[in-house]
Amino acid sequence: MTNSKNIPLIFSLLGGLILLFIISPLISMFLATTPLQLFETTKDTEVLDSIWLTLRVSFLTTLFFAIGAIPLSYFLSRMNFRFKNIINGIVDLPIVIPHSAAGIAILGFISRDSVLGQIASSVGLNFVGHPIGIGLAMAFVSIPFLINAARDGFENVPVKLEKTALNLGASPIRVFFTISLPLAWKNILSGLIMMFARGLSEFGAVIIVAYHPMITPILIYERFGSFGLKYARPVSVVFILVCLAFFILLRTLAKEKKSANA
C-alpha cells in the first residue's frame, strides 16, 4: 500500500509530466525560430495587420456580447423553470460541436439569402468576408465560457443579501448593480478573459465565414500551406508573444482592481 506521505510527490510528478507535455512543443517552436526571423516577421505588414484585426475583433466582440451574456447568466443562476437544463445544454452546445459545423451554421445565418443577410444587404453590408462576420463566428464558439463563468459567480452570491436589500427598498436593478455584479465580478472578469482568448484562437468557424480579411490563425494556416513550416513558425511565435503580453496586462489590471476593492 502506498505511503500517504508519498502522495504529494506522486501528484507532483504526474502534474509535472502534464506541464512538460504542454510546454515542450512551445519551447521547441521558440528554439527553432531565430531572432532574425522574429525581427523580419515583426516588420511584415500583413502579419501586423492580421494580429491587430484579431485582437480588435475579439475584444470588441467580447464587450458587445457581454451586454446580453451577463444578464442571461444572472437569470440562469436565480431562476428555476421547467426547461432550464435544456437552456444550459444549448449554452454549452457551441463547445462540443465541430467548429467547421459551427462555421457552416453561422454562414447560413448571415449569408445574403438569410433574413439577417437580406436586412444587412439593404443597407449595403455583407457580413460574409467582413470583420462583423468574423466577430459573430468568434462569439458563437466563445460565449459559453463567459456565460458559465458569470453564472457560477452569481450562484456564489448569497441570495439573502439581495433579499435584504430588496426589503430595505432597493430596486431590483440597483440590487443587481450594487450587490450581485460586484460580488460576482471576479468570475465575470475571468469569463471575459476566457471568451476573449477563445475568440483569438478560433480558426475552423472563421475560415468558413471569412477567409479574408485574414485573422492570424488563418494567416498561419495559409503560410504553412503555401510555404511550409519555416514561414509559418515565426508568425506563430510572434502571435503567441503578443497574446501573452496582452493576457499579462489583463490579469495585472484585474489584480489591481481586486486589490483596490479589497
CATH for 59:
1.10.3720.10
In a domain, 29, yes or no: no
Distance, CA of 139 to CA of 132 (rounded, Å): 10
In a domain, 31, yes or no: no
Query: Residue 114: which of 100, 102, 124, 128 has the closest Cα?
Result: 128
| CB within 8 Å of 107: residues ≥ 6 apart | 128, 208, 209
In a domain, 16, yes or no: no
Distance, CA of 230 to CA of 152 (rounded, Å): 43
Q: pLDDT value at position 262?
A: 55
Q: pLDDT value at position 247?
A: 82
Backbone φ, ψ for residue 68 (5° rounding)? -100, -30
For every residue of 74-109, which 3-state class applies, written as one string?
Answer: HHHHHCCCCCHHHHHHHHHHHHHCCHHHHHHHHHHH
Is 207 in contact with 103 (CB distance < 8 Å)?
yes
In a domain, 195, yes or no: yes
Grid cell listed for 120 = 444587412
Q: pLDDT value at position 256?
A: 63
> Could you list the residue range(s) of the whole structural domain that residue 164 is in?
44-214
In a domain, 175, yes or no: yes
In a domain, 187, yes or no: yes
Distance, CA of 36 to CA of 167 (rounded, Å): 66
What are the tens digits of pLDDT across the range 200-246? Answer: 999 999 999 999 999 999 999 999 999 999 999 999 999 999 988 88
In a domain, 33, yes or no: no
In a domain, 222, yes or no: no
Asked if pLDDT for residue 71 goes beyond 80, the answer is yes
Q: How many domains does the chain have?
A: 1
What value does the mean pLDDT of the chain take? Answer: 91
